[in-house]
């Protein structure tokens, strides 16, 4: 059985003498792991269509144990590694997040479109870090982990007029002053700016965010909470996070 769909390559690994195992996030079938036979031969028909961050139309053959990539036609190749090392690293971080937060064959067209958008806008973005962090919050929201930012995640009381804000990573949102007095465990103090920023991020298109600027100290706070939130929900560490910190 043959099937065809758009997809973005999340991961590509060499296998045996001439093959590759690729992980592709597809529009119509979710995440697929497949094998491309003979792809590393010099005259391979695939060219660079199976490189990480490439958006292609794929034709798959349904295999017994693993599906086979029969054809691939490039729609957009988002990055050349040599030209934009920092932006490439942020883009690689985005695809790693999608790879580690999703299960095989779980269809999510909204997430596919969001991934395609972030890779597109990262190329021209003035602030790739802010764009990547925003992508992560929007991804978490799409996957059902949208944080509670207007009401206490414990008692549902409004936190609008609070001078101090506490974010609970495990419970997924802000905790009001009354609840904080009873139990502070797992809560991180955050600024009012952080709360407003994440609320704005969750409703703003990435095209708008790609040219936005915010102060460095605010980016650091956003990055800290984002990393904690994703690490808790994914229960995984991210290789590209370590590389970005090194940069």
Sorting pLDDT into bands at 50, 70 and 90, what band is 84? confident
Q: How many domains, in total, are found in the chain?
A: 1
User: Considering the domain boundaries, does residue 238 fall inside one?
Assistant: no
User: Considering the domain boundaries, does residue 13 fall inside one?
Assistant: yes
pLDDT tens per residue, range 154-169? 999 999 889 899 999 9
CATH number at residue 28: 2.40.50.140
Share of the chain above pLDDT 90, in %: 80
User: Considering the domain boundaries, does residue 223 fall inside one?
Assistant: no
User: Considering the domain boundaries, does residue 60 fall inside one?
Assistant: yes
Three-class secondary structure of residue 54 per DSSP: strand
> How do the residues of the chain divide into helix, strand and coil, expressed in percent and rounded to 5?
40, 25, 35
User: Considering the domain boundaries, does residue 24 fall inside one?
Assistant: yes
User: Considering the domain boundaries, does residue 48 fall inside one?
Assistant: yes
Domain span at 38: 1-77
Say if residue 136's pLDDT is above 90.
yes
- Under 8 Å between Cβ of 230 and 140: yes
pLDDT tens per residue, range 88-100? 999 999 999 999 9
- Rounded mean pLDDT of 112-121? 97
pLDDT tens per residue, range 63-73? 999 999 999 99
Question: Of 140, 118, 145, 91, which Cα lies nearest the Cα of 209?
Answer: 118
Which residues, in sequence order, are CB contacts of 87 under 8 Å at separation 6+?
79, 122, 123, 125, 128
Out of 119-123, 150-154, 182-186, which region has the weakest mean confidence (pLDDT)?
Answer: 182-186
User: Considering the domain boundaries, does residue 125 fall inside one?
Assistant: no
What pLDDT does residue 180 have?
A: 94
What pLDDT does residue 140 have?
A: 97
pLDDT tens per residue, range 12-25? 999 998 899 999 99
User: Considering the domain boundaries, does residue 63 fall inside one?
Assistant: yes
What pLDDT does residue 80 have?
A: 65
- Under 8 Å between Cβ of 92 and 84: no
- Rounded mean pLDDT of 25-48? 89
Structure-token pair, residue 73:
């036609």
- d(CA 172, CA 122) in angstroms, rounded, equals 28
Tell me the CA end-to-end span of the chain in Å, nearest whole number: 45
């Amino acid at each position: 059985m043959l099937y065809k769909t758009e997809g973005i390559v999340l991961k590509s690994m060499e296998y045996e003498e001439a093959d590759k195992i690729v992980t592709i996030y597809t529009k119509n079938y979710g995440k697929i792991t497949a094998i491309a036979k003979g792809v590393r031969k010099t005259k391979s028909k695939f060219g660079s269509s199976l490189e990480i961050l490439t958006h292609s139309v794929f034709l798959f053959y349904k295999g017994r144990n693993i599906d086979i990539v029969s054809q691939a036609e490039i729609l957009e190749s988002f990055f050349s590694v040599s030209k934009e090392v920092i932006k490439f690293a942020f883009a690689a971080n985005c695809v790693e997040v999608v790879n580690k937060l999703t299960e095989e064959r779980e269809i999510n067209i909204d997430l596919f479109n969001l991934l395609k958008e972030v890779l597109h806008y990262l190329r021209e973005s003035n602030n790739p870090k802010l764009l990547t962090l925003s992508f992560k919050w929007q991804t978490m929201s799409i996957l059902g982990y949208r944080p509670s930012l207007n009401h206490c995640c414990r008692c549902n009381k409004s936190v609008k007029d609070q001078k101090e804000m506490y974010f609970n990573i495990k419970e997924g949102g802000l905790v009001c002053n009354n609840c904080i007095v009873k139990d502070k465990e797992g809560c991180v103090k955050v600024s009012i700016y952080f709360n407003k920023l994440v609320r704005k991020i969750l409703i703003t298109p990435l095209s708008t965010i790609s040219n936005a600027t915010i102060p460095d100290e605010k980016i650091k706070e956003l990055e800290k909470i984002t990393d904690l939130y994703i690490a808790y929900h994914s229960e995984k560490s991210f290789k590209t996070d370590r590389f970005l910190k090194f940069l």
